[in-house]
């Protein structure tokens, strides 16, 4: 803080000033000058103290900001545990239903829906280990999705069912009472990850590729056959590729990701239920 004070003595004109009056004026002037010097010195000291405090605050903020930068920078190694939700899309696929001597049915281009926000919801969990330098790593990824056939749709058919030829077209609901993996189109994969050149101080794009196994809960039941398949099963391998972007903040990260998975389902029909 700077304090400026000005004192002004107006000139006076006296025809015959007395000696005692001159000494009084000098004493008053000296006292005024001393007051000005004292006030100015106090202002200078206050300003110096304010400058010192500002410098200390800036140094503290700089240290905090540098600490944040250090936390957001890529460490040499780190282990991350994460979870996610999303909205999957399942491409149309052919369904082959076979039983030796009884069924040999092919349904073309069956459409599926996921209902990701209806229980059980779509979710995933993963554990990532980034290696030295933080640019490459490995990930164990578990994804719980769903696939439910749209039974109200009419589809092209080929083959036999219950030893009888099937019509060229029929509604899926005429063939199946249930055709879904609603308690889990579950995929467990091991993946390699690579961070690309960062887009901003906190934004790191990454890519990955991996393979693993399917462990779905199948529910399959024909309309004219007693019993259904309703159980968890191993149904084959799965492969996936992914691309995403990571937003790093101190002690944690957020990520937005697109993942493409390819799975082949060979579902044993137990009819136990």
pLDDT band at 255 (very low <50, low <70, confident <90, very high): very high
Bridge partner residues of 199 (DSSP)? none
pLDDT in tens, 224-240: 888 888 999 898 999 99
Helix (H) or strand (E) holding 136: strand 136-149
Instruction: Provide the 8-state DSSP code for 200.
Output: B
Tokens of 164: 């009888």
In this prediction, residue 68 carries a pLDDT of 56
Compute the C-alpha angle 241/247/249, nearest 5°: 140
Query: Is residue 273 over pLDDT 80?
Result: no
Taking the C-alpha atoms of 237, 243, 249 and 250 in order, what is their torsion angle to the nearest 10 degrees?
40
Closest of 109, 81, 105, 68 to residue 250, by C-alpha: 68
pLDDT in tens, 14-52: 333 344 455 655 565 556 566 655 555 565 566 666 667
pLDDT band at 2 (very low <50, low <70, confident <90, very high): very low
Query: Is residue 141 over pLDDT 90?
Result: yes
Residue percentage of the chain with pLDDT more than 90: 54
**C-alpha to C-alpha distance for 211 and 138, rounded to whole angstroms:** 12
- Torsional class of 153: left (φ above 0), alpha (ψ -120 to 50), beta (otherwise): beta
pLDDT in tens, 168-216: 999 999 999 999 998 888 999 999 999 999 998 889 999 999 999 999 9
- Average per-residue pLDDT for the chain: 81
In this prediction, residue 85 carries a pLDDT of 95
Q: List Cβ neighbours of 37 (8 Å cut-off, separation of 6 or more).
A: none
**C-alpha to C-alpha distance for 54 and 212, rounded to whole angstroms:** 58
Query: Would you tell me how many other CB atoms lie within 10 Å of the CB of residue 177?
Result: 14
Find the mean pLDDT for residues 242-252. 92
Closest of 263, 266, 270, 211 to residue 235, by C-alpha: 266
In this prediction, residue 265 carries a pLDDT of 86
Query: Is residue 56 over pLDDT 50?
Result: yes
User: In Å, how far are 23, 88, 124, 191, 239 from 259, measured between CA atoms?
Assistant: 96, 9, 12, 12, 10
């Amino acid at each position: 803080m700077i304090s400026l004070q000005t004192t002004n003595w107006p000139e006076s004109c006296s025809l015959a000033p007395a000696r005692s009056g001159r000494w009084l004026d000098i004493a008053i002037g000296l006292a005024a000058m001393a007051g000005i010097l004292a006030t100015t010195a106090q202002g200078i000291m206050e300003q110096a103290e304010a400058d010192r405090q500002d410098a200390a605050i800036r140094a503290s903020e700089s240290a905090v900001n540098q600490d944040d930068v250090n936390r957001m920078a890529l460490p040499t190694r780190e282990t991350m545990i994460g979870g996610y939700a999303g909205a999957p899309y399942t491409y149309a696929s052919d369904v082959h239903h076979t039983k030796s001597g009884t069924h040999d049915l092919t349904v073309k281009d069956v459409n599926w829906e996921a209902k990701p926000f209806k229980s059980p919801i779509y979710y995933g969990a993963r554990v990532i280990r980034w290696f030295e330098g933080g640019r490459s790593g490995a990930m164990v990824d578990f994804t719980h999705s769903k696939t439910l056939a749209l039974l109200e749709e009419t589809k092209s058919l080929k083959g036999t069912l219950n030893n009888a030829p099937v019509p060229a077209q029929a509604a899926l609901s005429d063939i199946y009472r249930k055709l879904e993996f609603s308690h889990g189109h579950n995929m467990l994969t091991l993946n390699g990850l690579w961070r690309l050149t960062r887009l901003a101080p906190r934004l790191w794009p990454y890519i990955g590729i991996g393979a693993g196994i399917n462990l779905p809960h199948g529910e399959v039941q024909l309309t004219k056959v007693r019993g259904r398949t309703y159980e968890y099963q191993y149904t084959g391998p799965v492969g996936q590729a992914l691309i995403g972007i990571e937003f790093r903040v101190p002690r944690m990260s957020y990520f937005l990701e697109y993942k493409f998975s390819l799975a082949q389902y060979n579902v044993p029909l137990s009819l136990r239920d």
